[in-house]
Amino acid sequence: MQQLISVRAQKFAVMAVVLVTALLAGCAAVELSPHLQPLSKDTLMLLGKKGMEVPSPMFIRIFKEESEFEVWKQRSDGRFYHLKTYPICNWSGGLGPKVKQGDKQAPEGFYRIARSQMNPNSQFYLAFNLGFPNAYDRANKRTGDFLMVHGKCKSAGCYAMTDALIEEIYALARESYLGGQEYIQVHAMPFRMTDANMARHKADQWYSFWQTLKQGYDHFELTHLPPDVAVCQKQYLVNVRLQGGAPLGKLDPEGACPALERPAPVAFTPIPGEQVAATRSVVDGAKMHLFGATAASVLTAARPLYVAPSSTR
């Protein structure tokens, strides 16, 4: 009997080893979903070199004409430092804001991305909603929805990245939210709003609108801090607060503006000896839109844009 028990025990032990081995092999084969992918070793090293914490707040700037997407991270001095510039693989329409549903224009303006606007289940790999229409857009009767930054390099009113790049950007945003950031500010601009570029576009129908966007651009260039932006009387007001320094609170986007003041901006001064943090890191990649097309991508830039069902982006 003891010999029979011993044989059975040995068989059970062998089966257990086989089962555990199979389970471990199965676990090894499991891949994390795209929205859970960790940041790459190279990106973690770059964050470290630039003195940036992984969970620190981030800020985004988008430039249509250049097809560039910038990520900035906040450092211990409270200012934002450039982390990376990514190529925007594709975007639809031309320079100018989105006005109505179906115009296939990518938005321009000042937007906020809350954690709830992140979409890990997008049919475009990964996505986050820019928040169009915002208070300004609604006050000016602009229509449209599901305007995203997403993967797949296909656009119908969105900013489309390659899957690999949206995965990294998504991970950076995810870590900032986990670190306590309530929303990520996005400045979506038609181009880098230098005086020279503004002069080039002086005859454009959107010039006066772009002059307001330039206030936000100039403020960040000077301070490395995203300005507070209010909406009242159907207008953006940049770098404002209520008289006396009170928080803006909730204003009526279509109503009269309350008494406001503009605090004097404090110019950015880099931390001494921080040359690495001031260095710009530019990621290579295709730019399919004709405005920003690289030589390698011109041949494919004229492909027809894929129009996706908006509700599943």
CB-based burial label for 51 (10 Å; 0-12, 13-18, 19+)? middle
CA atoms of 127 and 107, how far apart (whole Å):
15
Q: Is the dihedral of CA 41, 44, 45, 46 positive or negative?
A: positive
Active site residue 150: yes
Angle value at C-alpha 155, between 152 and 156, nearest 5 degrees: 145
Residue 194 structure tokens: 């230098």
The one catalytic residue in 82, 89, 153, 158 is 158
- Measured over all CA atoms, what is the biggest interatomic distance in the chain, rounded to whole angstroms? 99
Q: Could you give the CA distance from residue 238 to residue 138 in angstroms, rounded to a whole number?
A: 18
Tokens 């001064």, residue located: 269
Annotated active-site residue 27? The verdict is no
Please answer whether residues 124 and 313 qualify as being in contact, where contact means their C-beta atoms are separated by less than 8 angstroms. yes
Distance CA 213, CA 207 (A): 10
Structure tokens at 45: 């090293």
Residue 262 CB coordination number (10 Å)? 14
Two tokens at 243? 């008289």
**What's the residue count for the chain?**
313
Annotated active-site residue in 82, 89, 150, 232: 150
Tokens of 144: 């449209």
Q: Return the number of other C-beta atoms located less than 10 Å from residue 191's C-beta.
A: 19
Active site residues: 150, 158
